[in-house]
Structure 1
Amino acid sequence: MNRGYTTPVTKITENDFESLVQLALDEDLPAGDITTDTLFAKEESCTAVLLAKEDGILCGLSVIPCLIGKTKASLTWKNALEDGAVLSKGTVIGEFQGSLVSLLKMERILLNFIQYLSGIATNANRVAKQYPNLLILDTRKTLPGYRKLAKYAVYTGGGANHRLNLSEMAMLKDNHVAKAGSIQSAVQMVREKNPGKQIELEIDGISQLSDAIAASPDIILLDNFSDSDTEKAIQILKEKAPKIRIECSGGITPDKLNFLSKFDGIGVSMGYLTHTVKFLDISLDIK
């Protein structure tokens, strides 16, 4: 099952993060590492393990070979796990061997990527696992440049991907409807000019529901509906328009999902998955 409205982000390649890795290196090492370059000889070598310090879901390992390549480090990396692995405190993720100086210089950058993406994957996993009858969707509320990585992390954790960008599918909001003159006109105009593209229509009140159903978009988004209006709208949609997918949104956090879990199969979009993230505690232990 593809968990998403469009093509989900099931993998990432170096092209997706190479520029971010280079940006991180330029940011952190504009003129070397004063501490490391002063205290350690270039020829010193080491063995180090990447270690989980708390429970979670692993994500972001493909950044490591890119980082090694960008720094031309004399390092080898052998991973013991793959992205999506379930971590517990003390789990060894993989091992480095080689240049101690190179490893110390890239340590913070490496951990920033993996802790951040693993944090997102863990966030998504907790929610998706607790509410398996809901399609837990991410949003475009991501850090600039990190969109694809963040959505990959959501998918890795068991969540689902909404549209990756504005080009993948149409979402009609109040400003768009106002410009078109009506819900019917807005949906029709987009459909005529973009055949084959999915159309999602956002409504913010139950009074718009009849017009929304008549316009027949692919998805109707109930934005910031009260519990009672949500229940009423979903009942009407399932009876009168069973082919239209239903999504709920509007500041939804995990504590608000108990009510929505009454309705099997609906989508719930949550900026929370990517903008309320705690880095997963992962350390680099040099032996």
Structure 2
Amino acid sequence: MLPADFDTARFVHDVLAEDLGQGGDVTSAACIDDGARFRAEMNCREEIVVAGIDLAAAFFRALDPGVRIDTPVADGDKVPAGTVLMRLEGGARAMLTAERSALNTLQHLSGIATLTRRYVDAIAGTGATLLDTRKTIPGLRVLEKLAARMGGAANHRMRLDDGVLIKDNHVAVNGGVAEAVRRARAANTGLQIQVEVDQVDQIEPALTAGAERLLLDNMDNDTLRKAVSLVGGRVPLEASGGVNLDTIRGIAATGVDYISVGRITQSAPAVDIGLDFVLLP
């Protein structure tokens, strides 16, 4: 479900405006009779996890308020190739004009959800939770993080004001982990303080200074196990850096609580979805 403050109408308007330009869909206007009606069926051509189905439907409704739409699937559904995702009946010109915007959105978001589910399945039963990151396409973060949730991940920070995350550059400027944490606590933001560490010897200074969560960055599995043992459950631990489908289960088996993966939003390929039209008499 989209956040309550997400402006669907504005998003749809802006995406359509990008595609329509000043002259609109000149090809459909020239080739399709104004009163022509289409029946259409949208199908996935590979196994996918659905994300963005209601948003895709909104493009068709924006151009033809009377369009009839049936969506037999819902966001989060994992469906096999050939599944009908949407059935439509309405004005032919409007359908053709909205087609690319609707498909682009659904293919991109479902691509994120589908890749995310593969990562989630890879760590099933380990107790670790998959997290997304802020590595998103500018302007699409809310939607891409929604898609990650549909794939089974949990959202990390949505914005920079969602939590204090002290990273290596913050540490370097402050001359060490402890001082960076001390200053963050003195700021009294009321937010959880998470600290990125890339060496085991940074852990105790971070915890002593008041870190409430640790991000274990680019550590190999042996080092992760040492970190888990040293922390002993005092704070949640998140592993990050260089994670892929071949390595994530081994990382999860070290005992970390969370694993963050930037590529589920940054590098997910669009899935293959098609829309086939039939002209009604």
Q: Structure 1-normalised TM-score?
A: 0.89
Match of 1:149 in 2: 143
Deviations 1:106-129 (A, max 9, x none): 111100000111111111111101
Q: Is the 8 A contact 2:51 2:106 kept in 1?
A: yes
SS in 1 for 2:34: coil
Give structure 2 stretches of 5+ with no counterpart. Answer: none
Q: Does 2:26 match 1:34?
A: yes
How far 1:14 sits from its partner (Å)? 7.8
Aligned length: 275
Match of 2:133 in 1: 139
Q: Is the 8 A contact 1:200 1:218 kept in 2?
A: yes
SS in 1 for 2:156: coil
In 2: Cα distance, 1:248 partner to 1:267 partner: 6
Match of 2:218 in 1: 224
Opposite residue 53 of structure 2, the aligned amino acid is L
Match of 2:62 in 1: 70
Q: Does 2:68 match 1:82?
A: no
Match of 1:177 in 2: 171
Q: Is the 8 A contact 1:14 1:66 kept in 2?
A: no
Opposite residue 120 of structure 2, the aligned amino acid is A
Q: Does 2:186 match 1:192?
A: yes
In 2: Cα distance, 1:205 partner to 1:243 partner: 18
How far 1:16 sits from its partner (Å)? 4.4
Q: Is the 8 A contact 2:132 2:145 kept in 1?
A: yes
Opposite residue 39 of structure 2, the aligned amino acid is T
SS in 2 for 1:243: coil
Give structure 1 stretches of 5+ with no counterpart. Answer: 1-9
How far 1:93 sits from its partner (Å)? 1.4
In 1: Cα distance, 2:162 partner to 2:5 partner: 22
Q: Does 2:249 match 1:255?
A: no
Which 4+ runs in 1 deviate beyond 3 A?
Answer: 10-14, 16-20, 178-182
In 2: Cα distance, 1:138 partner to 1:170 partner: 16
Are residues 75 and 163 of structure 1, via their aligned partners in 2, closer, same or farther at CA, if it must alter by over 3 Å? same
SS in 1 for 2:243: coil
How far 1:229 sits from its partner (Å)? 1.9
Q: How many percent of aligned residue pairs carry the same amino acid?
A: 32
In 2: Cα distance, 1:153 partner to 1:245 partner: 25
In 2: Cα distance, 1:224 partner to 1:93 partner: 40
RMSD: 1.9
SS in 2 for 1:93: strand
**Counterpart among 208, 218, 228 of residue 214 in structure 1:** 208
Alignment of 1:227-246 (within 5 A): 227-238=221-232, 242-246=233-237
Opposite residue 111 of structure 1, the aligned amino acid is L
Opposite residue 248 of structure 2, the aligned amino acid is L
Are residues 14 and 76 of structure 1, via their aligned partners in 2, closer, same or farther at CA, if it must alter by over 3 Å? farther
SS in 2 for 1:280: coil
Opposite residue 29 of structure 1, the aligned amino acid is L
In 1: Cα distance, 2:268 partner to 2:230 partner: 35
Are residues 14 and 21 of structure 1, via their aligned partners in 2, closer, same or farther at CA, if it must alter by over 3 Å? farther
Q: Structure 2-normalised TM-score?
A: 0.91
